[in-house]
Amino acid sequence: MNIMMKKTAFALILSLGLVAGCSTTGEEPMTDEEMSAVDQEGGASVYGSDDDGGISSDELRERERREAEARGEGGDEASLRRITTFYFDFDTSEIKMESRDVLAAHARYLASNPNVNVRLEGHTDERGTKEYNLALGERRANAVQRFLVVNGADRGQIETVSYGEEKPAAMGSNESAWAQNRRVELIFR
């Protein structure tokens, strides 16, 4: 009888552990549309309204370049350094190819000005838990820091901080807002 009670108690404990491990977190799963937001070329398709009119995260960078050119700033180092926000695809900390030239210009500037410091602020969109988003924002800031150091900046000049989802650049729960919130900002001091 004693062995039978132990087996029953063991089975009950295993069942409770299984139920607790498989319980939901209260977050809704992503829809197929949200999952397909990242295209095969690494850019994010961004849809801001029901009319499917939106912008891509690549277009955010292109818009900044066009605005710099409109102000009469060509492709020189100073105009590249005016871009201080770098966007990321959904759930990744990989630096986009189009951001690398601009970040390299920032690295050269830091290398030639050792008295200048920069704070890298990592941000995410609102999807995911607060803990996960803080970690993702930190991974993004650290990725930018590594890129700057590899390209000549001194690690002592760079401070990283993650705000996760706490400081959105755009309000809203749509792909357009999310794309603008997935970013690292360079704050020079």
pLDDT at site 48: 37
pTM across the whole model: 0.63
Q: Which domains does the chain have, with CATH numbers?
A: 54-188 (3.30.1330.60)
pLDDT at site 79: 84
List per-residue pLDDT tens for the chain, 189 residues long. Answer: 577 767 676 666 766 555 555 544 444 444 444 333 333 334 433 333 344 445 555 565 566 655 555 544 445 788 888 999 999 999 999 999 999 999 999 999 999 999 999 999 999 999 999 999 999 999 999 999 999 999 999 999 999 999 999 999 999 999 999 999 999 999 999
Strand partners, 183: 87, 123
